[in-house]
Amino acid sequence: MQTKLLTAALAAAALAGAALGAAAADAVVIGYQTTIDPAKVAQADGLYEKEFGRPVDWRKFDSGAEVIAAIAGGSLDIGFVGSSPLAVAASNKVPIEAFFIADLIGDAEQLVVRNGSGIEKPEDLAGKTVAVPFVSTTHYSLLAALKHWGIDPTTVKIVNARPPEIAAAWERGDIDAAYVWDPALGAIKASGKVLVSSAEVGQWGAPTFDAWIVRKDFAAENPAIVGGFAKVTGDAYAEFLKAPEAWSTSSEQAAKIAKLTGAKVEDVPLLLKGYVFPSLAEQASDKFLGGATVQAITATSEFLKEQGKIDAVLPDYSKYVSSKYVSEAVASN
């Protein structure tokens, strides 16, 4: 039986593929989101195409659920998802592998309450309308926060909305609060206040992260492409980690990231601080793809099962995680 949250997305996979259109036969089709990370510079500079020796068809998505649907429908080769949609997809046995940890999420995702909504403390959320992209890391964090506060989620009107829809609904006054990431986060914070961030929720025992995933069949047929993706992304992270202060508001890097994501260029340096970006060596270690990532997916799945968001937890999630490509990238550097 399909999980309750991913069923609609998977059912719409064929439609999503048709809407996206067919890519050039030799193009690598990659789905990205508007998160702020150093690899956006490599994307802007065409370094992936140079590494692959093939064109890349970059497609922007607003949520991990949409990425999973597109991959399940065969219209994406590689995609960017959060830990919650990754856990849902793996629990549904979607044939994917997480091969690069894009980031650990901290203050980059926040629950914001609208000024004038009457929400001053967590208990005030009861009876209010809270928007969040379903099957996202923020959805997971919202449920974890409500559990921590002892609030029954059925007493809160939780509605599904993509980040652009959240910003529009906020402007109209249709919602009282939202748990989201930038650029929508920056837009709603202008007339709201932060109730909690994912950094705090992580400290309560529900950390979240983002990852790059690949279709298993594509990886089997194109291991050099997946390895090259890991190398280019890892090299971009190394450049940032070497001198993060150089990625200032006046830098070329900040300008390129802002152009790709829609964030304000003056906000980019602060937004980068909202994440932790693991190095290639860390990626391959037991702290991440070498061990802890499987444990994190298992723990996330157990929580989602407890919340009634998935039907069952698999006995082993290791086949949905691979450290092969980052290990090869480390060896090649």
User: Which of the 8 DSSP states describes residue 179?
Assistant: E
Tokens 């723990």 sit at which residue? 299
Per-residue pLDDT tens digits for 36-60: 999 999 999 999 999 999 999 999 9
pLDDT of residue 6: 53
pLDDT of residue 333: 80
Per-residue pLDDT tens digits for 168-198: 999 999 999 999 999 999 999 999 999 999 9
**What is the chain's alpha carbon radius of gyration, rounded to the nearest angstrom?**
19
Does residue 14 have a pLDDT over 80? no
Q: Which residue has the higher pLDDT, 242 or 13?
A: 242
Question: SS3 breakdown of the chain: % helix, strand, coil, rounded to 5?
Answer: 50, 20, 35
Question: CATH 3.40.190.10: which residues of the chain?
Answer: 7-106+209-332, 109-203
Cα separation, 103 vs 219, in Å, equals: 22
For 177, residues 6+ apart whose C-beta sits below 8 A from its C-beta are 111, 112, 113, 114, 117, 119, 125, 128, 129, 130, 131, 192, 195
Tokens 């340096």 sit at which residue? 269
Per-residue pLDDT tens digits for 275-311: 999 999 999 999 999 999 999 999 999 999 998 989 9
Does residue 146 have a pLDDT over 80? yes
Does residue 323 have a pLDDT over 50? yes
Core vs surface per residue 41-79: b (16+ CB within 10 A) or e: bbbeeebbbebbeeebbebebbbbbbbbbbbbbebbbbb
Mean of the per-residue pLDDT values for the chain? 92
pLDDT of residue 229: 98
Architecture of domain 109-203: 3-Layer(aba) Sandwich (3.40)
**How far is C-alpha 178 from the geometric centre of its chain's CA atoms?**
17
Does residue 232 have a pLDDT over 90? yes
Q: Are 21 and 212 in contact (CB under 8 A)?
A: no
Cα separation, 156 vs 234, in Å, equals: 41
What are the two backbone dihedrals, phi and then psi, of residue 68, each rounded to the nearest 5 degrees? -60, -45
User: Residue 3, exposed/middle/buried by CB under 10 A (0-12, 13-18, 19+)?
Assistant: buried
* Strand ranges in 202-252 using DSSP code E only, listed in sequence order: 209-215
* Number of residues assigned to the chain: 333
Cα separation, 312 vs 333, in Å, equals: 41
Fold of 7-106+209-332: D-Maltodextrin-Binding Protein; domain 2 (3.40.190)
Among the listed ranges 3-12, 240-249, 314-323, which one has the minimum average pLDDT value? 3-12
